Each structure stands twice: as C-alpha cells, then as structure tokens.
C-alpha cells in the first residue's frame, strides 16, 4: 500500500488515480476525510499508517521543512521504507540565505536524504494548472495580469509529475535520484494565455503588471521575468519513455474549467 499526502491537491489527486489504475492499494492522507471518495483500493487517513512507500507533499510556504521532518519521523515510526518528495525547480543543493523560494524546500530535501528511507526527489517547474488562477479573468473577457513579463518556463502538466512519482514509488530504478521535471517546450505567460484563448474559442490577452513589493510572489515573478526559469530537461521523457504533455494539450483537456458554466 502506498500513502499519498496532498491526495486532495494537484499532483496527489492525479497520483492516486495513476496508482489505482495500476492496481496498487492507496491510502489518501488528508486533514478532511470527507474530501476523498473511498472506493476499492482506496482508503483514507488523517495520519501516517504503515505502508511500503509515501509521497511527501507539503503546502507551499516556509513551514515545509517542519512538515517534511514531522512526516518523515512518522514514516520511520510506521516502518515505511521509501519516500518520494515533491520539491521544486531551482532548489539549491545547500542553503542560500537570499533565495527564499528555493530555501523552502532545501532543508526538506536534506531531511529526506538523511532520513534512512530509500528516497527520490522530484523538482518540477511551474505547473500548467497554475493557469486556473486566470480562469475568472478569461471567463469574464478581462485581460490576465502578467507579472512574469516574457520570461519563458518549461511549464509541466501535473499528470506528468504524478506519472513520474508513480514510477519512483513502485520500483527501484529511481532510488537516490533528484530529478528536475519540465514540460517539452519553453513558453511565456502571454503565450499560455493566447493558447487558452484559442482553446476556449475567444480572444484572451494579458495586461503587463509591475510585480511590485508583494513579497515572495514578487520574488518568484522576478525570477521568471529575468529568464532564470527558462529550463528544459529530458528527465520526464527518460523516466516515462514518452514526451511530456504540452501546455496546449493540458489546456485542451481542461477547457471546461475556463469556460462559463
Ligand atoms: N504550483 C507550482 O507551480 C509548483 C511548482 C513546483 C513545486 N511546487 C510544490 O508543490 C507542492 C504542492 O503545491 P500545490 O500548491 O500544488 O498544493 P496542492 O497539491 O494543491 O495541495 C497539497 C495539499 O496540502 C494540503 N494543505 C493545504 N493547505 C494546508 C495547510 N495549511 N496545512 C496542511 N496541509 C495543507 C491539502 O490537503 P488537505 O486539505 O486534504 O489536507 C492539499 O491537498 C508545494 O510544496 C510546492 O512548493 C508547486
């Protein structure tokens, strides 16, 4: 049985379906069990229980390290032998004081590597599903505020992250590996918005914004604007034996989420 943290969230929910489709037993870990539709092969728990492996997902923020340490300790206490941690692209190997975003995951990664469990670390880039934050603007015909300028990113379909996680959780080919997961192409936010406009059958535009002083979000936006997240790797293709999904493919599969009800 495999424990999936963040099972009600973006990659965790896709991972649950992927593992069930492979005939694996899964326990979804959530603070609110009513959010999980228990069925054959799928149980729900509010805490860590004995399992073969655990998918370690933390909500974004500075509490990631405490979260990771707490769940690793519980995993060890429950005899869990394998952990796959969802980290983030740009996470430095050693602490960097002025890299706030990267620093969120760095100590969590370190805790995973020292945990005594067999581990794999996944560092995905920006999720395609982040664009759901623009759905209201697209539905209303308003321009999408663009804080990211023309910075390119290798935007990834969260289902591809889940597919890689399923490989790492169920086999030993990826033990001790740290992967940087990207989609197949570099794309800017205005290009993403233009694709969404085509997919939903209406025009869609962006409105350039100054990221300003809005804390960590501005730091992330500046990082992208400066072209520092223009990274593509072939890790997804090497692990899955197929090309990762394009942003357009993700947008077509999620068209209804951007259209008026
Ligand atoms: N979004 C991106 O572009 C991106 C890129 C790279 C890396 N990441 C990393 O991916 C991870 C997941 O991010 P996400 O935004 O996509 O999250 P998510 O998968 O949507 O959410 C994960 C889960 O965290 C739980 N959760 C939410 N708030 C919580 C809280 N305050 N305390 C405890 N649990 C809480 C929720 O589960 P329950 O409510 O069911 O308990 C939720 O299902 C983060 O560590 C982030 O750094 C994200």
Residue 172 belongs to domain with CATH number: 3.40.50.720
CB-ligand 1 contact for 130 (6 Å cutoff) = yes
Average pLDDT of span 81-108: 84
pLDDT of 100 reads: 64
The DSSP string of the chain is -EEEETTTSHHHHHHHHHHHHTT--EEEE-S-GGGS--BTTEEEESS----SEEEE---SSTTHHHHHHHHHHHHHHTT--EEEEE--TT--SS--TT-HHHHHHHHHHHHHHTSSSEEEEEEE--BGGGGGGGHHHHHHTPPEEESSTT--B--B-HHHHHHHHHHHHH-STTTTEEEEE--SS-B-HHHHHHHHHHHHTS---EEE----S-THHHHHHHHHHTTTT----SHHHHHHSSPPPPHHHHHHHTGGGGS--
How many Å apart are CA 232 and CA 181, to the nearest integer? 8
Beta-carbon count within 10 A of 230 CB: 16
Q: What is the pLDDT of residues 155-175, one digit of tens each?
A: 999 999 999 999 999 999 999
Residue 64 Cα: closest atom of ligand 1: 45
CA of 169 to the centre of ligand 1 (A): 19
User: What residues are paired with 29 via a beta bridge?
Assistant: 5, 45
Q: What is the pLDDT of residues 23-60, one digit of tens each?
A: 999 999 999 999 999 999 999 999 999 999 999 999 98
pLDDT of 150 reads: 96
Does 257 have pLDDT greater than 70? yes
Does 21 have pLDDT greater than 90? yes
Q: What is the pLDDT of residues 190-246, one digit of tens each?
A: 999 999 999 999 889 999 987 665 666 788 888 899 999 999 999 999 999 999 999
Q: Best of 7, 37, 56, 59 to mutate for ligand 1, by most ligand atoms within 8 A of CB?
A: 59
Q: How confident is the model at residue 123 (pLDDT cuts 50, 70, 90)?
A: very high
pLDDT of 114 reads: 97
Q: How confident is the model at residue 9 (pLDDT cuts 50, 70, 90)?
A: very high
Report yes or no: 244 and 182 within 8 Å, Cβ to Cβ. Answer: yes
* Structural domain count, the chain: 1
The pLDDT > 90 percentage for the chain reads 86
pLDDT of 213 reads: 59
* Average pLDDT of the chain, as a whole number: 94
pLDDT of 194 reads: 98
How many Å apart are CA 19 and CA 84, to the nearest integer? 14
Tokens of 17: 């379906």
CB-ligand 1 contact for 207 (6 Å cutoff) = no
The residue segments making up the domain with residue 71 are 2-258
């Amino acid at each position: 049985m495999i424990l999936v943290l963040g099972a009600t969230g973006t990659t965790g929910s896709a991972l649950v379906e992927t593992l069930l489709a492979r005939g694996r037993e899964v326990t979804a870990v959530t603070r609110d069990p009513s959010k999980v539709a228990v069925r054959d092969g799928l149980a729900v728990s509010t805490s860590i229980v004995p399992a073969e492996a655990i998918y370690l997902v933390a909500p974004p923020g500075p509490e990631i390290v405490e979260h990771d340490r707490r769940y690793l300790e519980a995993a060890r206490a429950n005899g869990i032998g394998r952990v796959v941690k969802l980290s983030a692209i740009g996470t430095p190997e050693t602490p960097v004081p002025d890299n706030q975003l990267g620093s969120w995951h760095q100590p969590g990664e370190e805790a995973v590597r020292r945990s005594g469990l067999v581990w794999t670390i996944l560092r995905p880039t920006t999720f395609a599903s982040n664009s759901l934050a623009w759905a209201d603007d697209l539905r209303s015909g308003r321009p999408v505020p663009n804080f990211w300028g023309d910075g390119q990113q290798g935007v990834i379909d969260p289902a591809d992250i889940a597919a890689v996680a399923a490989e790492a959780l169920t086999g030993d080919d990826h033990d001790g590996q740290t992967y940087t997961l990207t989609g197949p192409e570099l794309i800017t936010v205005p290009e993403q918005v233009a694709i969404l406009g085509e997919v939903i059958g209406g025009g869609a535009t962006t409105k350039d914004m100054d990221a300003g002083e809005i804390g960590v979000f501005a730091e992330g936006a500046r990082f992208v604007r400066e072209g520092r997240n223009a990274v593509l790797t072939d890790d997804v293709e090497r692990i899955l034996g197929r090309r990762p999904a394009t942003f357009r493919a993700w947008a077509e599969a999620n068209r209804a989420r951007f259209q008026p009800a």
